[in-house]
Structure 1
Amino acid sequence: MGKTYVLVHGLFHGGWCWSKVAHFLQRNGHRVFTPTHSGLGERKHLLSPSVGLDTFIQDLINTILWEELRQVTLVGHSFGGMAATGAADALPERVHRLIYLDGAVPEPGRPFSSQLPSGIEEQRLKQAQNIDGTLCIMPPTPEDLGITHPDDIRWLNRRMTPHPIKTLLDPIYLQRPPEQGPPCTFIHCTQPEYPPAIYSSRKAKRISGWLYREVAINHDCIINKAEIVAKLLEESP
């Protein structure tokens, strides 16, 4: 029997980035939902100074509730781990497993920015731009995310959007810490390691009861290693 997946994207991306992974999962009989956060991707017209981490969490909660989903395998890629954790915390009865794909494992009461290696937060703040009244960090090059194929590079360049910086600076408030939430799997991408993901990977490796895997693929593997990612998700309990 197929599973129900809700795939959560990270910085600068949207639900579109999961299209290749979703194809492989759906081909194998799974239901797949790929919501886009407010202000990004095809919802970039909703960008505003009020869009914060709570907005992203509510986006996911509403997807799960309005689609009437249960036994959800919730997958947070990169920064998407923050909102995925918040939604799992709010709807524990509906989440079967939480999978972090090189994802951010939150520290309750703290923002994602606190996990960034020294200098990265300052650099991003310095390079932030005002987009229609909202302070945003700008997309990196696809090559910075480990993407090398020209078609993939062009695809990302057409679709990545500025990301509201408030979502990185908002602390997350949870009813329980992630290690007391639903069963978890952490998949760490090591070829090469993506510096902002190292903090969470080290934390996840120490949490008793979590499944931890290291895989020699790049951080934005959902773009160029989609079939491998789909298999990794299916192999998780």
Structure 2
Amino acid sequence: MTPTNPAGGPTSFVLVHGAYHGGWCWSRVRDLLQDRGHRVYTPSQTGCGDRAHLLDERITIDTFVEDITALILAEELHHVVLVGHSFGTRTVVGVADRIPNQLSHLVFLDGGFPTPGQSRLEVMTPAQREARIKSAQESSGGISIPPPAPEAFGLSDPDDIAWVQRRLTPQPFGTDTSPQKLSHEIGNGLPCTYVRCIEPEFDGVGTAADYAQQRQDWSYLTITGGHDAMVSNPRAVANLLESLA
């Protein structure tokens, strides 16, 4: 039987990748969900993945939000389960701020949250900020940040590491330097689930995970797998997402 949303028709998932990744990182989860009858979209945001050829200094966090908003509106999707991994959580928050009526559930997979009205760079420590700016300048004249090794995303299987290594692309630096303006509280009143990847834990999302746990109106779950659990444990991720549809 094909799963349906409350308005009839198959459930639509839109899966948003994190920094240095592209829509490719969701391919294993996508295939599992599609085999179960769901509609699944895995777009690459501007300048990333298969759209890395569009990388330039004009890309901002608003560009990322517009990428996903435009997809949902162009495809006329409703009752969308919108999933953001890592940096993609910021994109999801922005989309929910703009078009909540198209969405049914937000899922934050090991992600960090924006500080409304501020850029990601502004909320870093001075040492982190200085290192980030230096990396961007030295690698690309300030346009992008080079990707770290795949092991930084909690991967240990040699085949997974090689697969991810071939696909990682620089992250547009403008997504770090541009402020994210929100008109509503994070989540915009929609059902929200935060999923923490726990084997191993990724230190960079500890503050966001703590915030999510304190939100009494949200669900908080854990999943076995490192930060890139959609690569290392796609079946568990697919099962969890399907349970929220």
TM-score class normalised by the smaller sequence: over 0.9
Counting aligned pairs with the same residue, the percent is: 41
Alignment-mate amino acid for residue 58 of structure 1? E
* 1:178 CA drift (Å): 1.0
* 1:236 CA drift (Å): 2.1
How many residues are matched? Answer: 237
- Shifted more, 121-130 versus 165-174: the winner is 121-130
* 1:133 CA drift (Å): 5.7
Which one of the candidate residues 96, 110, 119 is aligned to 1:88?
96
SS in 2 for 1:74: strand
Which residue of 2 is the match for residue 8 of structure 1?
A: 16
Q: Which consecutive unaligned segments of at least 5 residues does structure 1 have?
A: none
**Cα distance between partner residues in 2 of 1:133 and 1:114:** 20
Which one of the candidate residues 32, 51, 65 is aligned to 1:57?
65
- Once the two structures are superposed, the pairs formed by residues 1-237 of structure 1 within 5 Å of their partners are 1=3, 2-114=10-122, 119-129=127-137, 135-236=143-244
Report the TM-score when normalising by structure 1.
0.93
**Cα distance between partner residues in 1 of 2:124 and 2:201:** 14
CA contact 2:135–2:145 (8 Å) conserved in 1: yes
Q: 1:216 to 1:202 in 2, by over 3 A?
A: same
Note the aligned Cα RMSD (angstroms). 1.8
Report the TM-score when normalising by structure 2.
0.90
CA contact 2:57–2:173 (8 Å) conserved in 1: no
CA contact 2:96–2:188 (8 Å) conserved in 1: no
Q: Which consecutive unaligned segments of at least 5 residues does structure 2 have?
A: 4-9
Runs of 4+ more than 3 Å apart: 113-122, 129-134
